[in-house]
Structure 1
Amino acid sequence: MTRDSASPAGAPRLRRRLGVVDSVAIGLGSMIGAGIFAALAPAAAAAGGALLAALAVAAVIAYCNATSTARLAAIYPQSGGAYVYGRERLGPFYGYLAGWAFVVGKTASCAAMALTVGAYAWPGREQLVAVVTVLVITAVNCLGVQKSALLTRGIVVAVLLVLATVVVACLVGADEGVGALVSAPERGVVGVLQAAGLLFFAFAGYARIATLGEEVRDPRRTIARAVPIALAVTLVVYALVAVAVLSVLGPTGLAAATDPLAQAVRAAGYPGLEPVVRIAAVVAAAGALLTLVLGVSRTALAMARDRHLPSLLGAVHPRFGVPYRAEIVVGTVVALLAATADLREVIGFSSFAVLVYYLIANLSAWTLSSRPWPRTVALVGGLGCLLLAAFLPAAAVIGGCVVLGAGALVYRTRAALGAPGP
């Protein structure tokens, strides 16, 4: 097989095939599908009329995290993202904790996206559709990252076209007016922060670009360009869609909706668009699931190389150049979770875990330079992650602390027993 170089442990490396366009497409596929079709409604339930303020807060923190991530990824262009950054900059335990947070958080996200596909495609048979979707996407990923990136690019273009149509239809048929966009939140600052934490679930897709760092051509240049482009495009799309849907449904209607975009076009007087929106929701959620599985499997690969996960997960396919065992294991776990997961609960849990992941990324970025601006960005990002995590729903905070604490306990126990490490 083709190798770029050997890893420190002598393991085969993944092939560098992705350019800027493919990297941006992977980031957009992760963010747009998750945010528009899964996170807007629970965020509106928390923030009410201050949904746009919550979106702005999430965007600022996401920008800081993206900047820190891009700086780190340019220096450490390896699979694993903040798992690698924490290990190299802060020590093995912090790297492990970041990797564990990413794997468990994004595995929950995968289940959420699979269930979103099922809910829109075949109501009443969500679990069956979710499991089948996961199996198909796992097979696609096992055939190679180029095929995954090509499919993701097509999905992104199709979904953006549908979302543009939704925005125009809703703004033309809007009844609520500007008051629905600027009304005060019933729960005040707490509601805004909780909504921002839930919306952060939708912004976190740019991490996929970093976790694929070992498969990116010229990573210092490509990642530095792809991350801010993907984040900026996503923010514009979120803002436009949020304004359009709020102008039709209002905060209360949006909060109660399980399929807000479909309800919005129907309420705006364009029921013929509803099937198109449902198809787009399925396609977008499937695209997000496609790239989510990519990111989780690459982090599992990096952790397996360092013996924090079973070494068999570190195998790279000799023909397709992908971590196929990690792909298969991740797909199997996601399929099992999809049978029992609740969409809104797993969004909260995933947000908590991913905020911990980015906290470690920002702490790692803090150590890169003593210059004021980079350190300020890392500080704002890190404090923002702590703040949003603290104000998530109590069940998400408790569940996240238990799962992350269990992972930390396993690490400390293995270290005390003298288990081999990286």
Structure 2
Amino acid sequence: MSSVPPPAAGLPDELRRRLGVPDAVTIGLGAMIGAGIFTALAPAARAAGSGLLLGLALAAAVAYCNATSSARLAALYPVSGGAYVYGHQRLGEFWGYLAGWAFVVGKTASCAAMALTVGTYLWPGQAHTVAVASVAALTAVNYTGVQKSSLLTRLIVALVLAVLAAVVVAALTSGGVDAARLDIGTDVTAGGVLQAAGLLFFAFAGYARIATLGEEVRDPARTIPRAIPIALGITLVVYTLVAVCVLLVMGPDGLAAAGAPLTDAARAAGADQLVPLVRVGAAAAALGSLLALILGVSRTVLAMARDHHLPHVLAAVHPTFKVPHRAELLVGAVVAVAAATTDVRGAIGFSSFGVLAYYAVANASAWTLTPGEGRPARIIPVTGLAGCLVLGFALPLPSVITGTAVLMVGAGVYGIRRVGARRS
């Protein structure tokens, strides 16, 4: 298989390579340590009960396989687009297109969910208005350059980690800690653990941002394979600490009934003074995720527009800021409309299905690598592919039906375009 080199220097569609390992890790953390940890624990506990930590471990295992496959591919193909590029090069044009379609549609829904999370925490009575304003503000930040986005993400990640650390300390030092709440009961089912893992995967999926920014990373063959596992490892440690501490003070039943899990955990730990800080942290986390998501979606739109799977006008790169400005404006507009009209719960399930489909293509692509191309151990892409399919179809039935229908629509659009191309 032939590799895809970055655009030649000096071409008008060239993106500027500015990001080193710390910047790439920060962008990955901003996407992963986001609103997912503030929202996904409760529905996962409802699905798995006392098997929540098993679901978290399973989600992390699948995420590790996906991250390893993505890192090897991103080092070989250091251009914008992620699995859209990998699928196109390794499996054929259709599979690359389908991965790009799943990513753009699924992550647009995720953008809307993150924006609504900001609104819900900051101003519940005007959640949709705040969501739209957040999208507009972050689109403007992205428009002025990816380096500024990285600096803002660094500040957000620092704030969120401080908030999560405060919750962990409050839980561990409270008098309501009960280690028996971590015991796995007889109510745990395989189906419940799988569904919890699928829901929790939503909170891990941000490492794709590093791969989709491959054309803006310095020395991508070295930077990307280092940044992705570092970001994923930090996220797993943080999530495990938070999940264990929340279970210690609330138990699986209390967590399942929680509307705002970390806020309720702070109250259960007797740290009511932390509640306002947790609310601010949740909003900041959602902003960090939204910032990184808009970056990733716009770069995939750029890659698809370059190949004429989307209107080629979206492939333009701003001559001063060196960003795909038209793609970013379109993505921002679509997300703003979705944030003004949709519901956060449905958006999360639909997004998880689309992202798992995206990574299924990435793992299948990694399986085709040769040893000379940096192929991972075969068990990794095989496990990642199987895990994506199993977790995807273990999600709540409405998410599975809607996600499958959207993928079929995408396949139909591709087929119509191909027939039109042959006739012309």
Length-normalised TM-score, structure 1: 0.96
Aligned partner of 2:274 in structure 1 is 273
Q: Corresponding residue for 2:231?
A: 230
Deviation at 1:347, TM superposition (A): 1.1
Equivalent-residue separation in structure 1 for 2:13 and 2:198 (angstroms): 38
Give the equivalent residue in structure 2 for 1:30: 31
Q: How many angstroms does 1:372 deviate by?
A: 9.2
The residue type paired with residue 102 of structure 2 is A
* Cα contact 1:176–1:250 (8 A) shared by 2: no
* Greater displacement, 347-356 / 167-176: 167-176
Aligned to 1:401: 404
| C-alpha distance in 2 between matches for 1:43 and 1:366 | 30
Structure 1 residue 413: deviation in Å?
1.1
Query: For residue 370 of structure 2, what is the aligned residue in structure 1?
Result: 369
Is 2:111 the counterpart of 1:110?
A: yes
The aligned residue for residue 250 of structure 1 is: 251
Query: C-alpha displacement at 1:249, in angstroms?
Result: 1.7
Is 1:410 the equivalent of 2:413?
Answer: yes
Q: Is the 8 A contact 1:174 1:247 kept in 2?
A: no
Counterparts of 1:117 and 1:250, CA distance in 2: 27
**Total equivalences in the alignment:** 417
Confirm or deny: 8 A CA contact 1:16 1:216 kept in the other structure: yes
Shift of 1:73: 0.3
Moved more, 233-242 or 247-256: 247-256
Deviation (angstroms), 1:61: 0.6
SS of corresponding position for 2:218: coil
Q: Give CA-to-partner distance per residue, 1:297-329, whole Å, 9 cap, x none.
A: 000000000000111111100000001111111
- SS of the residue aligned with 1:202? coil
| Residue of structure 1 equivalent to 2:301 | 300
Name the residue aligned to 1:380.
383
TM-score normalised by structure 2 residue count: 0.95
Mapping for residues 115-130 of structure 1, pairs under 5 Å = 115-130=116-131
User: How far is the alpha carbon of 1:42 from its aligned partner?
Assistant: 1.3
Q: Which residue of 2 aligns with 1:196?
A: 197
Distance 2:349 2:12 in 1: 36
Rounded to whole Å, the distance in 2 between the matches of 1:229 and 1:185 is 36
Contact 2:106 2:355 in 1 (8 A): yes
Structure 2 Cα separation of the partners of residues 413 and 140 of structure 1: 36
Give the 5 Å matches for 1:132-171.
132-171=133-172
Taking a change above 3 Å as real, the CA distance of residues 92 and 180 of structure 1, as seen in their structure-2 partners, is same
Residue of structure 1 in register with 2:393 after alignment? 390
- How far the C-alpha of 1:11 sits from its partner, in A, is 5.5
Distance of 1:33 and 1:93 partners within structure 2: 32
Contact 1:35 1:238 in 2 (8 A): no
Counterpart CA distance in 2 for 1:396 and 1:39 is: 15
Note the residue ranges of structure 2 that are not aligned, 5 or more in a row: none
Pair 1:270–1:13, CA change in 2 (3 A): same
Deviation at 1:247, TM superposition (A): 1.2
The answer as to whether partners of 1:34 and 1:202 remain within 8 angstroms in 2 is yes
List per-residue Cα deviations over 1:43-76 (Å, max 9, x = no partner).
Answer: 1111111111000000011000000000000000
Q: Structure 2 CA distance, aligned partners of 1:373 and 1:141?
A: 33
Deviating above 6 A after TM superposition, structure 1's stretches of 4 or more consecutive aligned residues are none
**1:38 Cα offset (Å):** 2.2
* Paired amino acid for 1:336: V
